[in-house]
A = this chain, B = another copy of it.
Amino acid sequence: MVDIATRVWNHKWKIDPIVRSLIDTDFYKLLMCQSVFRNKPDTQVTFSLINRSKSIRLADQIDEGELREQLDHVRSLSLTRGESTWMRGNTFYGKRSMFSPEFMDWFEDLRLPPYHLEKHDGQYELTFEGSWPEVMLWEIPALSILMELRGRAVLGNMGRFELEILYARAMTKLWEKVEKLRPLDDLRVADFGTRRRHSFLWQDWAVQAMREGLGDNFTGTSNCLIAKNRDLAAIGTNAHELPMVYSALAKDDATLARAPYDVLSDWQDEHDGNLRIILPDTYGTQGFLDNAPDWLAGWTGIRVDSGDPATGAERAINWWKSRGEDPRDKLVIFSDGLDVDKIVALHKQFQGRTRVSFGWGTMLTNDFKGLTPGDTLAPFSLVCKAVSANGQPTVKLSDNPNKAMGPLEEIERYKRVFGVGEQERLQVVV
């Protein structure tokens, strides 16, 4: 039987929306948004798209009209009743009422602010300006729209049958990864792949594959909509944008040196347990740990998001020991450029020495590498970052100079203030 109603309904689509919901975003964005809403609601920020893979000329591949349609669609979204109920009523990280009534009232009325779009030299310049708690919510939808539109541009040239084979191959490839992870005892791995996913439907499938294959060793997804629909835990803590904006707001070098710790002090007022995760690499992990106040050593864990991951974890373990903490009670979360072989190796190296967890991103939700001629669907490195706050430029150093951001003279100043010396350059693929 042909389902005529569905087919006619499909005809009617003006666009096939890429982002279908305001909670089709990472859980940590909502946590951070609430924190910013409480602590820095009036900060004016600019977020900007940055394509680290210059060889991918996005403006040549993606039609500007389609991009505007998708971005406009996101601006038309507001929180639905069911989404609000989920956020208000659900238990996150063991805590009821994670989101305050004041925050929820504000979020229910929210529409995302305008965007600014220009083409320049084969790339899109896409920026968002306004109050921090509003603008920050653009990051994930903007990235997933650009990733998926680039994919659609490639898929649009493929036949019905080629598409079927493409997805059969991608499913096979992903399932083989799941099978490699299956034998790992006590594995804890979550989906962190919203921002650079192939598509919403594909991320949703990847999450189901992980759930099916790994059972409880798959701890959840960073994507709130999928977590809600699939009855999974929403996963995530905090990101670089907090120290970056706090630091940009610092009036002098002394305040700047304190800024990353001020972020975590504010965070500690709101969260405990597994949400007390240090992200130490914004201005160099070693300096951050050496100068950290003692109360930070009592936090649950550290997220390793740049540099060589094993080195980062060893650093964390040594730091805990130097502060009299037992690393076996602590948690190391790996979340940078993971694929299955790296997960297996890190799991083996650190099992028994500390608790380990993985936030697996792009290579979980967008590994179409090698599946099309010319590798036209290979993932690439696209980010959307806070570039200024109250008129001051932001800076990121990270543990990998290839991930550094900001004006050169500011980078030099930050390196001086945070005592960052030579760093190893690592290739950034995704």
Residues of chain B within 8 A of A171, CB atoms compared: 164-165, 168
Q: How far is the CB of A23 from chain B (nearest CB, A)?
A: 23
CA of A135 to CA of B5, assembled, Å: 46
Q: How many residues of A contact B (CB 8 A)?
A: 18
A203-219 to B contact mask, C-beta < 8 Å, 1/0:
00000110010000000
Please determine whether B161 and A168 come into contact, CB atoms closer than 8 angstroms: no
A278 to chain B, nearest CB (A): 37
Name the CB-closest residue of B to A6: B1
A168 adjacent to B172 (CB under 8 Å)? yes
Specify which of B3, B9, B159, B172 is in contact with A3 (CB 8 Å cutoff): B3
| Chain B nearest CB, measured from A12 CB (Å) | 13
CA distance A164 to B213 in the complex (A): 13
A209, B167: Cα distance in complex, Å: 15
Chain B residues, CB < 8 A from A175: 165, 168-169
Given A168-B172, A172-B168, A172-B169: A161 and B209 within 8 A (CB)? Answer: yes
CB nearest to A175 among chain B residues: B165
Cα–Cα distance between A1 and B4 once the two chains are bound (Å): 12
Which residues of A from 212 to 247 have beta carbons under 8 Å from B?
A: 212
Measured in the bound complex, the distance between the Cα atoms of B1 and A1 in whole Å is: 15
Residues in chain B near residue A164, CB distance under 8 A: 171
State in angstroms the CA–CA spacing of A163 and B161 once bound together: 20
Pairs across A and B, CB under 8 Å, 5 listed: A1-B5, A1-B9, A168-B175, A169-B175, A172-B172
